[in-house]
Amino acid sequence: MSAATLLQLMWLASPALPVGGFSYSEGLEACVDDGRVTNEAQAGDWLLDQLALSLGRGDLAALASAIGAWRSGDTQRIGVLNDWVLATRESAELRQQTEQMGRSLLEWLRNRGNDDRLATLAALKPAPAYPIAYALAAAQTAAPVHDALLSFAFGWAENMVQAAIKAVPLGQSAGQRILGRLAGEIPAVAAHALRLTDAERQAFTPMLAILSSRHETQYSRLFRS
């Protein structure tokens, strides 16, 4: 992989990417409020479970398929994958998150230059899901699919660790230790996601869905999910 391609993946993984990922906790804030996460070890365990059970079995697998579909021009499959991602969002907040981040990434891609595929992304209804929009951004690079999954997962990990630091709360050193645990597991999770077929891809995290639904009416909140 060239230096330019590596830098593009780092750019996509950066918390500075203007898609608003920093404003979501994906149920973690509700988990803290419920007393399930109160310290560094519990926060790390929760995020590792979310990485393996949610991201690895669902979004990363869909992302891998979508990158291939964008590169081959299979617009029908893009639509099917977008519908699947949206259907896996089991609360209003999680649905709002993927739609908002997808729209924001679409605008970022438009500002970077012309790509005929942007019309297909913009036409997805009711909105492009974030993993599908990210797949187009990754498809525009020369990066191998596995490396694109690493970029997506690490970007997610950085945002979630920052959410844990604020919500638990934790210190910066604790956050770095959690990020180290996540980084150690991401390559294997990405490799597993690449092996999943459509029939094996899944989204089954009932407690996360329950906590996310509770967060919608939580008394005091820092995050949008």
For 138-188, how does the pLDDT look when each residue is reduced to its tens digit (9 = 90+)?
999 999 999 999 999 999 999 999 999 999 999 999 999 999 999 999 999
Residue 224 tokens read as 């949008």
Query: CA 182 to CA 146: how far, in whole Å?
Result: 16
99 close to 126: Cβ distance less than 8 angstroms: yes
221 close to 93: Cβ distance less than 8 angstroms: no
pLDDT at 21: 93
* Number of C-beta neighbours around residue 214 at 10 A: 15
Q: Is a pLDDT exceeding 90 seen at residue 211?
A: yes
pLDDT at 225: 85
Q: Is a pLDDT exceeding 90 seen at residue 12?
A: yes
pLDDT at 157: 98
- Burial class of residue 173 (count of CB atoms within 10 Å of its CB; 0-12, 13-18, 19+): exposed
Mean pLDDT, residues 47-61: 97
Q: Is a pLDDT exceeding 90 seen at residue 219?
A: no
| Angle in degrees, 0-180, between the axes of helices 60-72 and 75-87, rounded to the nearest 10 | 160
Give the DSSP H/E element, type plus range, for residue 116: none
Which residue do the tokens 């959690």 mark?
178
Nearest in space to 86 (alpha carbons), one of 32, 169, 33, 78: 78
Class of domain 38-215: mainly alpha
Query: CA 27 to CA 91: how far, in whole Å?
Result: 10
13 close to 161: Cβ distance less than 8 angstroms: no
Q: What is the pTM of this model?
A: 0.96
Mean pLDDT, residues 196-215: 93
Single-letter code of the amino acid located at 102: G
Mean pLDDT, residues 33-42: 96
- Burial class of residue 33 (count of CB atoms within 10 Å of its CB; 0-12, 13-18, 19+): middle
